Chains A and B, each alone.
Chain A
Amino acid sequence: MTITGWLQAALVFALVCVFVKPLGIYMARVFEGERVFLSPVLAPVERGLYRLCRIDADREMGWKPYAFSVVAFSLVSFAYLYVLLRVQAFLPLNPQGFGNLAPDLAWNTAISFMTNTNWQFYSGESTMSYLSQMAGLGWHMFVSAGTGIAIAIALMRGLARRSASTIGNFWVDLTRCVLYVLLPIAVVGSLLLMWQGVPQNFAAYTTAKTVEGAAQTIPQGPMASMEVIKELGTNGGGFVNANSAAPWENPTGFTNLLELVLILLIGASLTYTFGRYVRNQRQGWALFAAMTIILGLGFTAAYAAEAAGNPIVHALGVLGGNFEGKETRFGVAASSLFATITTVTSCGAVNAMHDSFTALGGLIPLFNMQLGEVVFGGVGSGFYGMIYYVILTVFIAGLMVGRTPEYLGKKIERREVQLAILAALIVPVFALIPAGMATVLPAGLATLNNAGPHGFSEILYAYTSMVNNNGSAFAGLGSNLWWNVSGGVVMLFGRIAIMIPVLALAGALARKRAIPETVGTFGTTSPIFVVLLIGVIVIVGALTFFPADALGPIVEQLLNQQGKTF
């Protein structure tokens, strides 16, 4: 590990910290319909959209209509993308003349983007027309992120409101999120990327002759605009197959830094927004602190493992960190950082091959996802995932001090525990059970590139990534009917089966009265609570996945040290 490596990480984090407060306040104002500096430009557009869609912006919803709107919107969006992918060959903006997608691939891809997962069983540059990229995938990159943030805001309202029956209006929250938060940042971000050389055009691919005389096809397309929302919305779906490892998407050290900041930006700022909502900024900082510490631990472990390198390579006399599968312009530190940040959040972008990480280095991104991506997390989903853990922590801690547990003055009772535990079940159920099937079914094993523990890691990583709506791929896995269909199901449940309980939770909490805090109430802003929260997150994650991880990366690392590879 080097000083410069640590400085890179510190720089990313410092830049995020700069934006947390202003963006946090900005989002709180936007979602409560207050005037912000963009209102003169955007408010007329917003009103126009409401008129067009016949939305009554002043009418709030209870949790059930809110959830119904979310599900209905998601399903319609899914259907739209599915159809688009199935007929792209007949539509314009297809200079390379790509054909229509097969039904199973279209199903997988449409669910993948609708759920903010962005798992890709295809190569963008050889499959997708520009229209599919922009109007199909790009549309979902905005609205799936917006949906996640809207739900997080609804939950914040539930926590903040007292004896209330409503938690906001989904259509308004979604519109405001896309219009005031995502679009402005995306515009600025894509200009910066274009300045750094990321392509933004509708041109056909360029054919070039290399120095050696071979013909090379260089992809073109509206990449900068897609790239920025890929990061900002923690989507992760690359325009091209190599994702952020490719020079088109991530050409320089600066773009790498920019992309990392964009990934963390909204998730981190939402903790501040939360503090504003509950009128206690320390509550927001407590969550921010817990997230920061886990991120720090994750990066340290990944960086240490990658910097330590591969014992087998060392035996050949090549010392130093593990450079296999990494871009020279990023190196070990930036790749470890990218891997950590894209898996603690739900981004899933990659700037190196995770498959080529050391076994322990690969365990960290896997474990990050197994924790439920609550460390800043997916935009919105990270926050509400964290609240599930907070509820479990508060419940256990509250019992330990001898009071019916409460969070922010709201009693945590049967229903809250029920919903939190239901959500906690989703990840193990939809990661482990399909993985168990894939390890014994011929169809599951058919497209696996590696054997032994490494092959197992690839399977486990895939389902863990999909259920958490991450989209990060370990690679080493090909697409077939089994993977397309089962992956789609897993992604769908990983999104919907967690979102609906969140909204139910928001509704249940909004209805409650708030109890004034006394010295008998343990504080949820104290260091001891933060430590306990981290403990619950790590222990619950570790206990659930330790057996599986032991058979994957852990045993692989032990075997690597004995000189065995897979």
Chain B
Amino acid sequence: MVSRSRSLFDRTILVPAIRESFIKLDPRVQLRNPVMFVVEVGALVSIFYAFRDARNGQAGFDIAISAWLWFTVLFANFAEAMAEGRGKAQAEYLRRTKTDTIARRLVQWTRGSGTSLEEKIPATQLRRGDRVVAEVNDLIATDGEIVEGAATVDESAITGESAPVIREAGGDRSSVTGGTRVLSDRIVYEVSANPGESFLDRMISLVEGAQRQKTPNEIALSILLSGLTIIFVIAVATLAPFSIYAGATPSVVVLIALLVCLIPTTIGGLLSAIGIAGMDRVLQRNVLAMSGRAVEAAGDVDTLLLDKTGTITLGNRQATEVVCAAGVRESTAYRAAYYASLADETPEGRSIVLLTGSRAGLAADEVTNGSLPAGSTVVPFSAYTRMSGVDFADGSQVRKGAPDAVRAWVANGGGTISETLAGDVEKVARAGGTPLLLADKEHVIAMIALRDILKPNTRVRFDRLRAMGIRTVMITGDNPLTASAIAREAGVDDFLAEATPETKMTLIKREQTEGRLVAMTGDGTNDAPALAQADVGVAMNSGTQAAKEAANMVDLDSDPTKLIEIVEIGKQLLMTRGSLTTFSIANDVAKYFAILPAMFTAAYPAMAALNVMRLATPQSAILSAIIFNALIIVALIPLALRGVPYRPRGANAVLRENVLIYGLGGIIVPFIGIKLIDLILVALHLTGAQ
């Protein structure tokens, strides 16, 4: 997916969102949100009073209040529609290719049968278990797993990565994603999801308000908000008899205005927008989440399991150093290393060639050609000898391999290894590297050190995680010695060496029994159980279907470090809810000081002392409060959609800052806002003074 950044108020989203705001006025939609439902009921009742009061010419004020109550509901609807619109636009990129694809379904298929009868049907009619064939230039119709053949596939429509990837039956690279294109060869894949059940479909439903399931935390917050709403309904409703007792005539419209100002409309109106926008942010990072719950859980993660290879270190080990034995000329050693590795196609072998080529004292064209001297025979690596090398035409031999294998080979020919070189071997091994020895028939010539190369900025990233309170555990197949050295260098908190699927599973379960939430990434079929067990499992899109099904998120970019960003999105989601709740409640203080004196100065003129904002008239005071209450929703839409800024820090620091901004700020801002609106109303002669 190429360009993902979209201006906040994109026209293509804005216009449908405005239309949608009106459609959402349907009370059945509003019922999902008790706070806004109360506002809508209030708006309806105030219309009734506006008609009733029209007879005695008092309707102007009632109409104004009623109008602003409708605006309040509309603004909240608009926020939700905006969030949905952005999410949908995001999903459209993924969906666009999907719907009109024609799939070549195989009617009868047996493995290895070659060609068989096929029929062309729309992708939407494919069912789980169907076999579909795809050849050069065919679009993959839906998510599936290759059961036969291999092909290069262009996944740029999904990942934005232009380099084609290889997908083949069997192994860990067998899954295909709907919307990608086959560039070469022919594959048969088995459909893994019914229409409407693919990852994409599930993701789309997460960003569409109507189908969206509320997450556990959202439900808990809704309960809190509903409880507060009930408290305020009681506080306001009892004002009616209280004011009768005080000799004032309570106006129903004013009571409704007060109620709407007090109930947490700001957070109530933005709550679902915040949740949808959170999903949208996940999607923007090219991650498909199976549920909002998973994203929320990501914010709570305590332990992050990271595969060493690909996440902490660059793919493979690389040669970093050649240490010569005493009395061996450097160029001799380099040349021997160069020749011994020239035919070695492993990444390790290539890295030795790269390191030694320029310093082997060879002619420049010899290096560029990369050919062995004439008459040489390559001795390939075998698991039996654990060495590889070259036999030259003159009868001399060079071997490189595991230290003990090479030492045994040299000892066979009567040679030895110097004490110092043996010490170096030990040192490299202890530091987490892989030492290789290089020898001719008589002597050990040199030691080659292979080391893991850390990805840039790993330490910074893990420090950031630690600041958030997340423990990182590196998972590796290396021996404990090697693993601990890399762990120390990378700055992870812990490591699991000689990891097997079973030990991984045990580790996850142990962490969970200690009450921690565990997140991990994986791609292989044998990762599937662990992915399912982990609280947050992110499967790589390049991985197997089994892994993807076990996980609760799929990363389309197959980037294992993405997990860190997902954790941050999860946290941001909760922080936005919490901050706006605090802000919403803190706002009430100012609204009391605006409305109560306005309500009761008629009965008790002394109450004017509470009009600390010196608002012009009772009508303007009430109107200003209700206008502020409506406009603040609009003003906070950008914050709700983008989320409150998140910086990884300790919880107490975050709390202090947010309490200051949203708590204290929430008390002060409405005093200023309401006063300003009142001044504008005065300037426009809308104060209702008769």
Q: How far is the CB of A493 from chain B (nearest CB, A)?
A: 14
Contact of A100 with B by CB under 8 A: no
Interface centre among A400, A402, A435, A440 (most CB of B within 10 A): A402
Q: Is the CB of B651 within 8 A of A428?
A: no
How far does the alpha carbon of A113 sit from the alpha carbon of B582 in the complex, in Å? 39
Q: Is the CB of B242 within 8 A of A548?
A: yes
Q: Is the CB of B600 within 8 A of A521?
A: no
Contact of A382 with B by CB under 8 A: no
Q: Is the CB of A551 within 8 A of B242?
A: yes
**Contacts known (A515-B515, A555-B600); A392 close to B224, Cβ less than 8 A:** yes
Looking at chain B, what size class is its interface with the partner chain? 35 or more
Q: Is the CB of A435 within 8 A of B220?
A: no
How far does the alpha carbon of A322 sit from the alpha carbon of B241 in the complex, in Å? 32
Contact of B102 with A by CB under 8 A: no
> Chain B: which residue is nearest A550 at the CB level?
B596
Contact of A545 with B by CB under 8 A: yes
How far does the alpha carbon of A295 sit from the alpha carbon of B300 in the complex, in Å? 36
Q: Which chain B residues (90-131) contact chain A, with CB distance < 8 Å?
A: none
Stretch at the interface among A84-92, A206-214, A477-485, A522-530: A522-530
Q: Write the B574-593 contact mask toward A (1 if CB under 8 angstroms, else 0).
A: 11011101100110110010
Contact of B663 with A by CB under 8 A: yes
How far does the alpha carbon of A550 sit from the alpha carbon of B220 in the complex, in Å? 32
How far does the alpha carbon of A456 sit from the alpha carbon of B223 in the complex, in Å? 33
**Contacts known (A439-B241, A550-B607, A551-B243); A399 close to B572, Cβ less than 8 A:** no
Q: Is the CB of B220 within 8 A of A422?
A: no
Q: How far is the CB of B335 from chain A (nearest CB, A)?
A: 54
Q: How far is the CB of B301 from chain A (nearest CB, A)?
A: 9
Q: Which chain B residues (514-541) contact chain A, with CB distance < 8 Å?
A: 514-516
> Chain A: which residue is nearest B302 at the CB level?
A518
**Contacts known (A399-B221, A439-B242, A516-B516); A428 close to B235, Cβ less than 8 A:** yes
Q: How far is the CB of A494 from chain B (nearest CB, A)?
A: 15
Q: Is the CB of B231 within 8 A of A401?
A: no
Interface centre among A403, A514, A522 (most CB of B within 10 A): A403
Stretch at the interface among A123-131, A186-194, A234-242, A413-421: A413-421
Q: How far is the CB of A83 from chain B (nearest CB, A)?
A: 36
Q: How far is the CB of B379 from chain A (nearest CB, A)?
A: 54
Cβ of B592: which chain A residues have Cβ within 8 Å of it?
A: 543, 546-547
How far does the alpha carbon of A561 sit from the alpha carbon of B609 in the complex, in Å? 11
Q: Is the CB of A547 within 8 A of B659?
A: no
Q: Is the CB of B575 within 8 A of A400?
A: yes
Cβ of A514: which chain B residues have Cβ within 8 Å of it?
A: 515
How far does the alpha carbon of A558 sit from the alpha carbon of B232 in the complex, in Å? 25
Q: Is the CB of A559 within 8 A of B606?
A: yes
Q: Write the B34-50 contact mask toward A (1 if CB under 8 angstroms, else 0).
A: 00000000000000000
Q: How far is the CB of A352 from chain B (nearest CB, A)?
A: 26
Q: Is the CB of A402 within 8 A of B574?
A: yes
How far does the alpha carbon of A422 sit from the alpha carbon of B572 in the complex, in Å? 28
**Contacts known (A518-B302, A520-B469, A543-B262); A401 close to B235, Cβ less than 8 A:** no
How far does the alpha carbon of A311 sit from the alpha carbon of B573 in the complex, in Å? 54
Contact of B604 with A by CB under 8 A: yes
Interface centre among A412, A520, A526 (most CB of B within 10 A): A520
Could you say which of A520, A544, A559 contacts B470, with CB atoms under 8 Å apart?
Answer: A520
Could you say which of B220, B650, B662 contacts A519, with CB atoms under 8 Å apart?
Answer: B650
Interface centre among A401, A425, A433, A555 (most CB of B within 10 A): A401
Interface centre among B238, B600, B604, B656 (most CB of A within 10 A): B238
Q: Is the CB of B224 within 8 A of A421?
A: yes
**Contacts known (A520-B468, A558-B609); A425 close to B227, Cβ less than 8 A:** yes
How far does the alpha carbon of A113 sit from the alpha carbon of B322 in the complex, in Å? 90
Contact of A247 with B by CB under 8 A: no
Could you say which of B588, B610, B652 contacts A528, with CB atoms under 8 Å apart?
Answer: B652
Q: Is the CB of A543 within 8 A of B651?
A: no
Cβ of B467: which chain A residues have Cβ within 8 Å of it?
A: 519
**Contacts known (A400-B662, A437-B241, A550-B607); A428 close to B234, Cβ less than 8 A:** yes
Q: Is the CB of B300 within 8 A of A403?
A: yes
Cβ of B577: which chain A residues have Cβ within 8 Å of it?
A: 399
Contact of B654 with A by CB under 8 A: yes
Could you say which of A409, A429, A518, A532 contacts B234, with CB atoms under 8 Å apart?
Answer: A429
**Contacts known (A425-B231, A440-B241, A555-B600); A404 close to B581, Cβ less than 8 A:** no
Contact of B570 with A by CB under 8 A: yes
Q: How far is the CB of A455 from chain B (nearest CB, A)?
A: 8
Contact of B245 with A by CB under 8 A: yes
Contact of A396 with B by CB under 8 A: yes
> Chain B: which residue is nearest A520 at the CB level?
B469
How far does the alpha carbon of A546 sit from the alpha carbon of B600 in the complex, in Å? 13
How far does the alpha carbon of A414 sit from the alpha carbon of B235 in the complex, in Å? 25
Q: Is the CB of B235 within 8 A of A439?
A: no
Contact of B658 with A by CB under 8 A: yes
**Contacts known (A403-B574, A413-B220); A518 close to B663, Cβ less than 8 A:** no
Cβ of A542: which chain B residues have Cβ within 8 Å of it?
A: 589
Cβ of A531: which chain B residues have Cβ within 8 Å of it?
A: 659
Q: Write the A529-557 contact mask toward B (1 if CB under 8 angstroms, else 0).
A: 10110010001001111111011001100
How far does the alpha carbon of A417 sit from the alpha carbon of B219 in the complex, in Å? 10
Q: Is the CB of B238 within 8 A of A396?
A: no
Contact of B230 with A by CB under 8 A: yes
Contact of A224 with B by CB under 8 A: no
Q: Write the B456-469 contact mask toward A (1 if CB under 8 angstroms, else 0).
A: 00000000001111
Q: Is the CB of A539 within 8 A of B235?
A: no
How far does the alpha carbon of A528 sit from the alpha carbon of B660 in the complex, in Å? 11
Q: Is the CB of A518 within 8 A of B469?
A: yes
Cβ of B244: which chain A residues have Cβ within 8 Å of it?
A: 439-440
Cβ of B54: which chain A residues have Cβ within 8 Å of it?
A: none
Cβ of A403: which chain B residues have Cβ within 8 Å of it?
A: 299-300, 571, 574, 651
How far does the alpha carbon of A456 sit from the alpha carbon of B242 in the complex, in Å? 8
Could you say which of B470, B516, B610 contacts A550, with CB atoms under 8 Å apart?
Answer: B610
How far does the alpha carbon of A188 sit from the alpha carbon of B137 in the complex, in Å? 95
Interface centre among B226, B243, B470, B604 (most CB of A within 10 A): B604
Contact of A277 with B by CB under 8 A: no
Q: Is the CB of A526 within 8 A of B516?
A: no
Q: Write the A128-158 contact mask toward B (1 if CB under 8 angstroms, else 0).
A: 0000000000000000000000000000000
Contact of B239 with A by CB under 8 A: yes
Contact of A395 with B by CB under 8 A: yes
Contact of A325 with B by CB under 8 A: no
6 new A-B pairs (CB below 8 Å) besides A428-B234, A522-B655, A554-B610?
A396-B578, A409-B515, A440-B245, A516-B514, A520-B470, A526-B652
Closest 6 CB pairs of A and B: A520-B469, A399-B578, A402-B571, A421-B227, A518-B469, A400-B578
Instruction: Tell me the A residues contacting B by CB distance below 8 Å.
Output: 392, 395-404, 409, 412-414, 417-418, 421-422, 424-425, 428-429, 432-433, 435-437, 439-440, 452-453, 456, 513-516, 518-523, 526, 528-529, 531-532, 535, 539, 542-548, 550-551, 554-555, 558-559, 561-562
Give 7 A-B contacts (CB < 8 Å), ordered by A residue: A399-B217, A403-B571, A403-B651, A421-B224, A424-B231, A526-B652, A559-B604
